């Protein structure tokens, strides 16, 4: 005990630490709209998490009264207390942000990095893949990806789908209005690819491969809201190009359809960025409906729950990549989880073209990604020193211009929330 306490912040004895406040700051674009959460404590330590892009900060603030006065080092106990307030996709944003901040605080209180709290690390650096927005011309898209390779990235992703077929005569069959909405789930749109449409997308893929070759893995995403049968036909046609995976071809909820898809194509099938908790992945893994899972730490449950999800996938022979399109706060939480998960494959980054993204936090290398990797930090907690307040103030959301404004209105909410009698 004496040797352990040599590494503990003497101003923050872990057993006495208490949460005193929760606040949120909103950035307009980094490159997505970012909402960074801060938990403050009795002894001067603050921990940071991030609410997933597209989620309301209300999902986090409603948890404040459930956390005030609690010891943030009791990460698992507090997660079990609040996880009932999360749900799939963006509705998990508050719970996950809080879990990241709790892990950050616990690491700072004990003087250890978050990966150590998750059981230790399997790697010293985390491979990143670079997502790149599509353009209509395949050769130009290839050049954009080649530029990523020249910057050191050794894993890539691009979009290929019905968005590239707008204006191509006889490429799509669709009921009136079906191509103008993204609110209808894939099996219900009635959109179908024609042979001409599939041939057009194959030519696009061939043009990309002619530029970048086959040296670097290239994953595919954003196929559009097409049904299972069109997914299978398109997937089979694209198999020849040996892509790293087909991502989110179908809504993740349709396990049976994922099984059919996986058995029908020769390319790995991937999904998971909208799934909450380990239980949400269970059927996909048991049925072998996917070859790669793709949780987002800001949707799946935070660092420890995503580590559990990765372990579950490993038991079923499935690799874990990680979705991430937010600020360095969520990126570093993802890095610690990736470091602690043996079957981790690669971590997304969608901010390569935002030069100031790297400066949003202090105490990390600049750029954070170097030669396609993020070094796993050994500093306590998430591993950065703090936020760059001056830079963040320059990018505040005009609709919410304050910097960690007071949230006193959320302090006193109470309810009977026990789930059993």
Domain ranges of the chain: 2-112+387-410, 117-382
Task: Determine whether domain 117-382 maps to CATH 3.90.850.10.
Answer: no
At 300 the pLDDT is: 98
Tens digit of each residue's pLDDT (9 = 90 or more) over 340-399: 999 999 999 989 998 899 999 999 999 999 999 999 999 999 999 999 999 999 999 998
At 346 the pLDDT is: 98
Residues 6+ apart with CB under 8 A from 75: 99, 102, 103, 106, 117, 304
At 41 the pLDDT is: 97
Low-confidence ranges of the chain (pLDDT < 70): 1-12, 29-32
Q: Report how far apart, in Å, the C-alpha atoms of 44 and of each of 39, 141, 281, 295, 414 are.
A: 10, 49, 38, 33, 26
CATH for 2-112+387-410? 3.30.390.10
């Amino acid at each position: 005990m004496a040797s352990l306490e040599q590494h503990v912040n003497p101003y923050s004895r872990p057993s006495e630490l208490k949460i005193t406040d929760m606040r949120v700051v909103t950035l307009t674009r980094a490159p997505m709209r970012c909402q960074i959460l801060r938990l403050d404590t009795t002894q001067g330590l603050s921990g940071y998490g991030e609410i997933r892009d597209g989620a309301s900060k209300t999902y986090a603030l409603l948890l404040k009264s459930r956390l005030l006065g609690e010891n943030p080092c009791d990460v698992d106990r507090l997660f079990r207390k609040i996880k009932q307030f999360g749900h799939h996709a963006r509705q998990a944003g508050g719970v996950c942000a809080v879990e990241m901040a709790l892990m950050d605080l616990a690491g700072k209180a004990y003087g250890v990095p978050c990966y150590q709290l998750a059981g230790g690390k399997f790697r010293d650096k985390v491979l990143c893949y670079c997502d790149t927005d599509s353009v209509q011309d395949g050769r130009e898209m290839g050049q954009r990806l080649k530029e990523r390779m020249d910057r050191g990235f050794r894993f890539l992703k691009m979009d290929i789908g019905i968005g590239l077929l707008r204006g191509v005569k006889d490429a799509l069959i669709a009921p009136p209005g079906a191509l103008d909405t993204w609110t209808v789930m894939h099996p219900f749109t009635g959109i179908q690819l024609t042979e001409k449409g599939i041939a057009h997308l194959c030519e696009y893929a061939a043009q990309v491969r002619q530029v970048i070759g086959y040296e670097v893995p290239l994953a595919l995403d954003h196929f559009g809201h097409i049904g299972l049968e069109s997914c299978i036909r398109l997937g089979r046609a694209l198999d020849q190009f040996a892509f790293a995976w087909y991502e989110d071809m179908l809504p993740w909820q349709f396990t049976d359809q994922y099984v059919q898809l996986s058995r029908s194509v020769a390319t790995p099938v991937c999904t998971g960025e909208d799934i909450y908790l380990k239980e949400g992945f269970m059927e996909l893994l048991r049925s072998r409906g996917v070859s790669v899972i793709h949780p987002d730490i800001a949707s799946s449950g935070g660092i420890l729950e995503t580590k559990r999800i990765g372990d579950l996938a490993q038991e079923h022979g499935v690799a874990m990549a990680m979705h991430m399109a937010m600020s360095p706060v969520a990126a570093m939480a993802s890095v610690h989880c990736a470091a602690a998960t043996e079957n981790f494959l690669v971590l997304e980054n969608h901010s390569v073209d935002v030069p100031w993204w790297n400066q949003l936090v202090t105490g990390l290398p600049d750029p954070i990604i170097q030669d396609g990797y993020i070094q796993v930090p050994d500093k306590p907690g998430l591993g950065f020193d703090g936020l760059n307040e001056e830079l963040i103030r320059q990018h505040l959301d005009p609709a919410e211009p304050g910097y960690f404004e007071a949230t006193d209105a959320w302090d006193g909410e109470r309810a009977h929330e026990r789930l059993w009698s």
